[in-house]
Chain A
């Protein structure tokens, strides 16, 4: 039985890692601010959730798991809020999500870093 949990936790950890990798690639490759932020929020939500659950399975029923659950709850609360606040701030400062920017090649968008 133990190996099932172990396997499950490793699967979760790996998938989480892949999500973070994809998010990272997305931040670099996507053409414009809002789409990039979408990619970045992916690492925040999917990546961390899966990894935290994976670690929880490793830790078993202990104090560490309770702490991890607390971390997970706070991540779930703050991550989307931060993304929202960032998008909102961008919108307020006059940055419009437009198709023109999307059509531009990613090379010119890459300079904005």
Chain B
């Protein structure tokens, strides 16, 4: 039954992808990409990857769609040149054929004897209760066993935000905004119903964000998803009330401080490991009881991740939104 469901979703995924590629209307394509991500998230969920499904839904269907839409607002909505470079399909087909060729030796889906499930994976599942003692093994690996990768991930987000700030320069905005106070900077003030309802929802979104942040050790979730959720709440506020009020609630200086602060917190937790006599990112030495130390370490770094991601998302959003006013 579940297999049938999977096959159905996968086929739908392919159809959506075809539609995205074929439509010349970029707005439609972006909307379809949101659907594509949602389908992808459902497939991930069927394949037991709850954390990944949550992230894909938040990122692919949420943040990425918002980003694409704000870029579309600043550029064009139609794809003009339709130049199918047919010979370019050659490397594509080669790559695809190679992969299909490789599948014939691949382990079957769900095969418990596959090499992937033999070497380090059982170790994680076995040792996590003893060494780190949190139920969500994904969070344990993300935060501690492979915490160094997560450190890198935070800095990737930070780099992107720095790049967007450098390219779209959030700092010149104030000079430009009074010229056209009309359309988007106003938000949805004249729409009563969405505004009332949106204001009602925002506290719940923030609450849910905090839940995901601090419940990540027990269920799906963690710093990244939480940061994205809280950022989504502020972005919703900016959409409803306009850029200005949103920036008085969370000013640009606070956003920049969040971006830097979370990342610095993460590295400092890592360095604290060295100072207290362990290795870099060794949380066991943070407290006398190694397991308690791991708990503290994961809590702190997840907080760092959440704060940085929230700050980066907001700064990227404001950078795009500020361009709108020019």
Using a CB–CB distance below 8 Å, which chain A residues touch chain B?
74, 77-78, 81, 84-85, 88
Is B99 part of the contact surface with A, judged by Cβ < 8 Å? no
In the assembled complex, 17 residue pairs joining A and B whose CB atoms fall closer than 8 Å, in A order, are A74-B201, A74-B204, A77-B197, A77-B200, A77-B201, A78-B197, A78-B201, A81-B193, A81-B194, A81-B197, A84-B193, A84-B194, A85-B188, A85-B191, A85-B193, A85-B194, A88-B191
CB-defined contacts of A85 to chain B, threshold 8 Å: 188, 191, 193-194
Proximity string of chain B (2-23) to chain A, C-beta cutoff 8 Å, 1 when within and 0 when not:
0000000000000000000000
Number of A-B contacts defined by CB within 8 Å:
17
Q: How far is the CB of A70 from chain B (nearest CB, A)?
A: 9
Tally of B interface residues using CB under 8 Å: 8
Beyond A74-B201, A78-B201, A85-B194, 14 additional pairs, beta carbon < 8 A:
A74-B204, A77-B197, A77-B200, A77-B201, A78-B197, A81-B193, A81-B194, A81-B197, A84-B193, A84-B194, A85-B188, A85-B191, A85-B193, A88-B191
How far, in whole Å, are A77 and B201 apart by their CA atoms in the complex?
9
The majority secondary structure among interface residues of chain B is helix
Using a CB–CB distance below 8 Å, which chain B residues touch chain A?
188, 191, 193-194, 197, 200-201, 204
CB-defined contacts of B191 to chain A, threshold 8 Å: 85, 88
CB-defined contacts of B200 to chain A, threshold 8 Å: 77
Q: How far is the CB of B325 from chain A (nearest CB, A)?
A: 20
How far, in whole Å, are A85 and B197 apart by their CA atoms in the complex?
11
